[in-house]
Amino acid sequence: MQVFKSVWQHYTPTPEIRWLLEQFRQMLNDCIRIGLAENVTSLKSLSLKAYGQLGRYDVASYYKLCAISAATGIMRNYRKAKRKNPHVREPYARRQRLTTCYGFKVRDGELSLPIHAKEHVQISLNQHVQATINGFAHRSLILTKDRLSLAYAIEVRQLQPRGFIGIDRNLDNVTVAATDGTVQQHDLSEATRIRAMYRDVGSHFRRNDVRIRHEISSKYGQKQQDKVKQILHHASKLIVEEAKARQYGIAMEKLVGIRRLYRRGNWQGRWYRGRMNSWSYAELQRQIEYKAKWEGLPVIYVHPYGTSSKCSICGRRMKPEENRMLRCPSCGYTVDRDVNAAKNILAAGTLRFGVVGLTSEVMVAEPARVQQSAKSMRGS
Ligand SMILES: [Zn+2]
């Protein structure tokens, strides 16, 4: 199984790179415009419609293909968003962001990047980036006006898990329940606080000049986002290390849109709902997934239905009590709601994977389905 990781650094663009970034942004917008006008979203049909029209750009031809491919992704997201909200704004690339899988090379600590067909520029890579990618095949490059990010790939052998951990993410923590019965919580309230602060600052820019506001808030936003990412990296690292030590696979909830997040927060009022941030929720999952895959640990996603409301012992509907506790009227189990959710995710994940050697607790979570999967396992 191939696994991807990426590493980034700051850099100072030369005039040639600045020019290339701007050309790429314009090509991307041309492709988006053509895609919208012709109503195409597939890579093949957009290539047919757009490639000829990119002839006026004097850049290496890889970039034309990459612009078309990036536009395809943007168009696909736009279509999806439009189905949910017909008033969504048409996509337009404002920021300079170049993505490519072709043309560039890394040699002797330098990134060599083609500008025109036979003209290259060099960017020196810092020690950290050099050490990180050393020995790996690099696969893609993302350039913005001050950062470069390299993705690299390795071959990983997937391990047969001895059990699972179920991960439940909440506003202020992430709760991890494992097959061996242990439960761990990681505090994420700092991340929530930073995001909330950023929202406040963002809302104070209500000047006439939209461009200034955009510039300031995006610069500030990038810094905040980096801080939150660091906090999430710390938590995801610990979680995956623990899972690796016990050779456990990882089960998480499939994110089904923003509504899910609203529902989760529905006991906390509007203000909290505003703070619950879908970006950081998805970012944590992304980090856990790639770190786990890197270690060969299987990652599975389970449907979130009922994970926060049903009893993780008998499957009946729980009643909320004080201090975020839940009580099951049927079997009397009283448990913290986050722990209960993590256990439900663990049970669902374990069932999906069909691992032998389930704990008794997991076995009783949903008797009918456990028996069914046990039968099918014996049959095979
Ligand atoms: Zn119960």
Tokens of 316: 């009946």
Cα 366 to averaged position of ligand 1 atoms, centre (Å): 11
Distance CA 213, CA 219 (A): 10
pLDDT of residue 267: 46
Instruction: Give residue 209 CA to ligand 1 midpoint distance, Å.
Output: 57
Q: State the pTM of this model.
A: 0.67
Which residue type does 88 have?
V
Region for residue 144 given its phi and psi (left: phi exceeds 0; alpha: psi -120 to 50; beta: otherwise): beta
CA 346 – ligand 1 centroid, Å: 16
The pLDDT value given to residue 269: 47
Cα(195)–Cα(134) distance, rounded to whole angstroms?
35
Nearest partner of 114 among 56, 73, 65, judged by Cα? 65
How many whole angstroms from its chain centre is CA 367?
33
Give the contacts of 201 (CB within 8 A, at least 6 positions apart): 217, 220
E-strand stretches of 260-309: 299-302
pLDDT score recorded for residue 185? 95
pLDDT for residue 263? 46
Tell me phi and psi for residue 108, to 5 degrees. Answer: 50, 45
DSSP 319-363: EE-STTEEE-TTT--EEEHHHHHHHHHHHHHHHHHT-SS--HHHH
In the chain the first and final C-alpha atoms are separated, in Å, by 25
Cα of 317 from ligand 1 centre, angstroms: 8
Reduced to 3 states (helix: H, G, I; strand: E, B; else coil), residue 6 is strand
pLDDT tens per residue across all 380 residues of the chain: 788 888 999 999 999 999 999 999 999 999 999 999 998 888 899 999 999 999 999 999 889 999 999 999 999 989 988 888 888 889 999 999 999 988 899 988 999 999 987 889 999 999 999 999 988 887 899 999 999 999 998 888 888 899 999 999 887 889 999 999 999 999 988 887 887 776 555 555 444 455 555 555 566 677 887 888 899 999 999 999 999 999 999 999 987 654 444 444 444 444 444 444 667 788 899 999 989 998 999 999 998 888 889 999 999 999 999 888 999 999 999 999 999 999 999 999 988 877 444 443 343 333 333 333 333 333 33
Taking the CA atoms of 119, 66, 151 and 137 in sequence, report the sign of the dihedral they define.
negative
How far, in Å, is the centroid of ligand 1 from the Cα of 295?
35
